[in-house]
Amino acid sequence: MKSLETSRRLAQTISAVEHQPIITHTELDGPSDFESLYVQRNFVREGDEQIVDAADLNPSTAPFRMVVMGHPGAGKSTFVQHFRKTVSGLESAIPVVELACRHYVKSFWDKSIVKHAVESINAEHSIEISTEQFENMLLLGRVCLVFDGLDEITEQAKRAQMISRIESLVGQYPVCSVLVTSRLMGYERAPLTNSIFDHVRLDQFDDEQFDEYCTRWFGKKGRADLIDSFIHDSESVHDLRYNPLMLSLLCALYREHGSLPTDRRDVYAKCADLLFRRWDSHRQIEHSGAIPKYAERLMQEIANWVYTSTSVQDGIEEQQLVRVLAHSLIDRDGFDSVDAERDAKSFVEFCAGRAWLLASFGTNSRGQRMFRFTHRTFLEYFAAESFARRAESQEKICDEIQSVFDRDPTSVVPELLIQAYDFHRDGGGPAVFKQILRSNARNILLLRLMEGIGMSSQLRSQAFQSIVWGWLEHPNSISALEFEITLSLNEQARAQLVREFLAEEAGPQRDSVRAIFLDGWAGLMLSGSFFRFQEYWAPIFSSVAHSMVSRGAELESQTTVNWTISLGLRPKQHTWNGWDAVACVSIYDVVPGLVWWTIEARLGRMEELPDNPVQVDAIQEAHRKIVDGSRIPVPLLVELRSILLRNGTEYLQWDRPSSFATHALDTILLELVQYLIFAMHEAQQDVEPFVRMMKPSLSGGDLGAALTWRDFKVGLKRRPARKVERAAREVMQRQPAWLRDWCDGRRSLVLWDDEVR
């Protein structure tokens, strides 16, 4: 009983704590603004890609063990703060106790997790809890533990031991809920056991969350008039604006300047400036020491040291940091040793008190404070500035760009380097780009580098020729990321690309290039992720498709054919396999085909049938091929299922529209949606979400019973109960013969890997 009272008291204390302003809520006036800005998040479960509502995590109703993974700035720490406060404040009063993995490993490794948790609670909340009381709370499930930042344990042996300790604790206290957070990158090198922990991903904001955050942020600042223009203008940095960290900074920049920088380096520079210089002045916070005029260069020195030295990437000891900064002030600014050490200490103290760029995160075994960059984005920005400022020649920049890209193709350092060099050297950017172009660099690197610097149309044309030649030589080499970077090029580059390769004036000899672009665009459209590109590119690609089809140019890609038919265009000499109108392979992997999008529009969204004879004919032809025995490959089905669940298909309306059965196409669509569920079931996929969405008005009864009957007929299950058998036969009576045959085990709908020749 005492443990229950202690648990409730601790929960009340934790829920009453006001959040301190954090980096993603920059410029707001106080802690109370945290919840008013917080945007509800969903997780994506690893493996099946199903959506998990973060708001459903409740240790009192369903104890859980979960690993939340995400990229830097995705909002893991923000979620933990929100989760901790809201769950602790529920009527069930289960306290959420957060333990920082790095802090535990560095300073309390000789203690058990339970002992460390008790000491942390007593120190942080001034509540005296004994180890015995806390163990009782764990046994009863009256506490939820959060292990924040597993990835921050960079020593592999220690991390493996930490995982072992967490899993041992979970085994010892089976009804205690446990949440672990980690960066996505590198997690797979030392993961928690899948059979013990669910793994979910915290992705960046989607369009709806982005809109909600912008509305809340500008509304909170009394500048709702800027919402629409910011949403439009931030398209220029669309890959940054969905990251919650960067979005908050972009909002602050936009409010201050009424516009956004056009290149990545300038965006980071302005964001760093906002964090580093202006945050405190906006908040009227007095510094314990003046920020020296050379502070930005000192930050570059630190970043360059951290970026190039693996020994300090885990954290920099305060004494080391002061020593390095003092040496820099002596060597580069002529300080005497006493003044240099004084100002270096002042700078470090400033950083310790303002945890926005370089922050103190605890102490080591010697009692020395440890520092690290709060976000790798800014480490990379300052490191690139330092390297570009020091570079003796453009060859050094080229070598570093190529070296960084080879080590980590996802790093933004290459773009930052060329843009920083262009900023510090007149004409430096184009000179570096020309040299990298001559080195036969990969297409994706060229596209990334050309986006943020100005260059002559002649140099840009040479780059386009090289990129296009690579695509033609290796047609399957273009990735979705590469294609989207191409679509995202600056206005001058896009216009030149259209003139030289896509416009009709470029001549029919460009048709092979146009076909590659159409394949990419069709994949993007069918994936359902085209919205941010639609305004500029949709008219262009529609025009290209009309031109090529009217000239009888061959369009071999099934993805392109699916999309062009949706435009009412009938490609030359095309025949269906049948299933390729349901799902097809694109540069975006598997995407739903024409048939699926028509099914979803008609039965899921209650829309009218398409007024497009070409589309209707294509669906009817695909249906005939499937009825005649064309079987869909299993890998396609597996991928399609994941995509449909990720797109939230199961949450649509799903019913018969009021005008249902006024056209024969309705019957075909109804057959095909059941066909798809049956095929996924035969491919041994979980179809429960799709069975649930099929109301009796659509399925004609209990579709699950029909699946059970099929399993019995093919020898996978025992004969079902008579009630189930009757329900199955009721469904089958309403089905066409070909689907009845499948339910009776006399037909297969799928093609297994070992059957493909």
What domains can be seen in the chain, in order of their start residue?
2-201 (3.40.50.300), 207-283 (no CATH), 391-502 (no CATH), 593-755 (no CATH)
pLDDT at 270: 85
3-state secondary structure (DSSP) of residue 69: strand
Q: 590: part of which helix (H) or strand (E)?
A: strand 589-592
pLDDT at 741: 96
CA dihedral 120, 350, 366, 374 (to 10 degrees): 60
Give the pLDDT confidence of 122-173 residue by residue, as tens digits: 888 878 889 999 999 999 999 999 999 887 786 778 888 999 999 999 999 9
pLDDT at 354: 56
Residues of the chain with pLDDT under 70: 1, 18-34, 72, 154, 185-186, 276-293, 352-356, 360-364, 756-757
Region for 367 from its dihedrals, namely left if φ exceeds 0, alpha if ψ lies in -120 to 50, beta otherwise: left
pLDDT at 697: 84
Q: How far apart are CA 517 and CA 523, in angstroms?
A: 10
Q: Which two tokens stand for residue 663?
A: 């056209």
Q: Which two tokens stand for residue 172?
A: 């010892």
Q: How many CB atoms lie within 10 A of CB 660?
A: 18
Q: How far apart are CA 313 and CA 307, in angstroms?
A: 7
Nearest to 503, CA basis, from 457, 550, 543: 543
- Are 358 and 373 in contact by the 8 Å Cβ rule? The answer is yes
Contacts 24+ apart (CB under 8 A), 429-436: 429/453, 429/454, 429/455, 430/454, 430/455, 430/456, 430/459, 431/394, 432/394, 432/397, 432/398, 432/401, 433/459, 433/463, 434/459, 435/394, 435/395, 435/398, 436/398, 436/401, 436/402
DSSP designation for 629: T
pLDDT at 698: 87
pLDDT at 1: 56
Handedness of CA 496, 500, 502, 504 (dihedral sign): positive
Q: 183: part of which helix (H) or strand (E)?
A: strand 177-183
Query: What amino acid is encoded at 264 in this protein?
Result: R
- Are 619 and 594 in contact by the 8 Å Cβ rule? The answer is yes
What global pTM score does this model have? Answer: 0.73
pLDDT at 273: 78
Q: How far apart are CA 205 and CA 218, in angstroms?
A: 17
3-state secondary structure (DSSP) of residue 65: strand
pLDDT at 347: 83
pLDDT at 287: 43
Handedness of CA 575, 576, 581, 585 (dihedral sign): negative
